[in-house]
Structure 1
Amino acid sequence: MAFAGYAAVFDIVDRAGDVVRRGAFSGAGVVPLLWQHRGIAVGVLSVVAEDARGLRVEGVVADLELARLVRGGAVAGLSVGYRATSVRQGVRRELLAVELVEVSLVAVPMQALARLEVLRHPDESQDPEP
């Protein structure tokens, strides 16, 4: 099942009080796609890149049960695993530069706008298998 979305959105305060700033993920390459940050790969990412909105990702969920949950709307969140390399501490912790370690599909993302959407190919039926 192909998908695209934002694993992080710039300038939005997350549930932990952190804010990711533009450029924080510069130089990030393709990293593993995990489930809930648990260290088990559930698919592959083909695109990991910053754009004007945030960290955009594209990939494929290979795990059949997880793909069914995503298609059914039970799982729609994305999240990043990272090591902060440059932060500015004020009222909020601002992430200026991070080392991206992984991207995860999650049930509840730290950032409300970190979401994915299912991509359908024109030749897919209305209810394709994952």
Structure 2
Amino acid sequence: MLSQLSAPALETKYTTLGTEIALKEGVIEGYASLFGATDQGGDTVMPGAYKASLAATTRPRGAVKMLWQHDPLKPIGVWDDIHEDGRGLYVKGRILKDVQAGREALSLLEAGAIDGLSIGYRTRRADKSETGGRRLLEVDLWEVSVVTFPMLPEARVQATADAEALDLAGELAEVFAEARALMA
């Protein structure tokens, strides 16, 4: 009898507190992850967690994909720069207007209808935090997605909305967060 080995499931993590994402002429940039901030799932990404993944020589250029809503069938652009700095995981890339999902994402971003980033990864090394969550020490980064609902209200694209719209978006995000908590 043959046994099948399967790879661990791809995990997703939404942008954390204090993130600012800029969008200008199809170029999107900002932080897809911030170090030291605990998310609603109790996980904290630690400095250096992405280093090995980003330095891997076995992965071709462009190996970290830009996806729409974590859908592997909907790449919407390319990440031209992904690196760790003292704050977190910085990303800069181009949303492709020649791709239907890219046009849709760009239009929705520009209108302020969507404004979140989320990472798709596999955990390589983690330990338990004092609060019972995980401290992610090493992750294998697969993709960074543009998403509708980031996990935290502060994980928003700042360059496309005025202050009043941001307040409303924050209130709406809180309502959705409460609804998700009730459904869990």
TM-score using structure 2 length: 0.60
Instruction: Give the aligned partner of residue 46 of structure 1.
Output: 80
Mapped pair 1:12 → 2:12: no
Give secondary structure in 1 for the equivalent of 2:71: coil
Secondary structure at the residue paired with 1:83? strand
Which structure 2 residues correspond to residues 116-127 of structure 1 after superposition, within 5 A?
Answer: 116=157
How high is the sequence identity, in percent, across the aligned residues?
Answer: 39
Larger strand fraction of residues: 1
Cα deviation code 1:14-72 (max 9, x no counterpart): 12111100000013164110011111201111001001110000001111111011111
Larger radius of gyration: 2
> Is contact 2:41-2:133 (8 Å) kept?
no
Secondary structure of the 1:14 match is coil
In structure 2, the CA distance between the partners of 1:118 and 1:64, relative to structure 1 (3 Å rule), is farther
Unaligned runs of 5+ in 1: 120-130
Q: 1:112 to 1:96 in 2, by over 3 A?
A: farther
Structure 2 unmatched runs, 5+? 1-25, 56-61, 97-101, 161-184
Runs of 4+ in 1 over 2 A off after TM superposition: 110-119
- How many residues of Structure 1 are paired with residues of Structure 2 in the alignment? 119
How far apart, CA to CA, are the structure 2 residues paired with 1:43 and 1:83? 22
